Amino acid sequence: GQNIDQPTEMTATEGAIVQINCTYQTSGFNGLFWYQQHAGEAPTFLSYNVLDGLEEKGRFSSFLSRSKGYSYLLLKELQMKDSASYLCAVKDSNYQLIWGAGTKLIIKP
């Protein structure tokens, strides 16, 4: 079956750095997405990786290793507004999006 694993919850301190990991086992691979979702709101797109390596976008970076079926989202200089759920999603060989359950990130002052 297809599976995406990410930690259920993480806690970090304002101003610090946090890395949220995602491992996947899917039938084929056509890209990996990270989304941010605040409570009660729809997800918003953060990043997209289809080739191995690091994609940097301001305070957020996303890394992909296709051979390891592994990605991480790195958040730097954490702000209180970064408290949210972070969803990892993979497009399989049929271009269907497979969603992880999300990681709830709690930022403490």
Partner 1 sequence: GAVVSQHPSRVICKSGTSVKIECRSLDFQATTMFWYRQFPKQSLMLMATSNEGSKATYEQGVEKDKFLINHASLTLSTLTVTSAHPEDSSFYICSAPQGDGSPLHFGNGTRLTVT
Please state the closest distance from residue 86 (CB atom) to partner 1, in A.
11
Q: Which is nearer to partner 1, 16 or 101 (CB)?
A: 101
Asked if 102 and 37 touch (Cβ cutoff 8 Å), the reply is yes
User: Rounded distance, CA 97 to CA 48, Å?
Assistant: 13
Q: Which is nearer to partner 1, 15 or 57 (CB)?
A: 57
Q: Which is nearer to partner 1, 19 or 44 (CB)?
A: 44
Structure tokens at 26: 């899917």
What x-and-dash track marks residues 69-88 binding partner 1 by CB under 8 A?
A: ------------------x-
Structure tokens at 96: 């269907």
Instruction: Point out which residues pair with 56 in neighbouring strands.
Output: 61
Q: Is 101 in the site for partner 1 (CB under 8 A)?
A: yes
Please state the closest distance from residue 42 (CB atom) to partner 1, in A.
4
Asked if 53 and 63 touch (Cβ cutoff 8 Å), the reply is yes
Q: Is 44 exposed, middle or buried (0-12, 13-18, 19+ CB in 10 A)?
A: exposed
Site for partner 1, rule CB under 8 A: 30-31, 33, 40-45, 48, 50, 87, 95, 97, 99-102
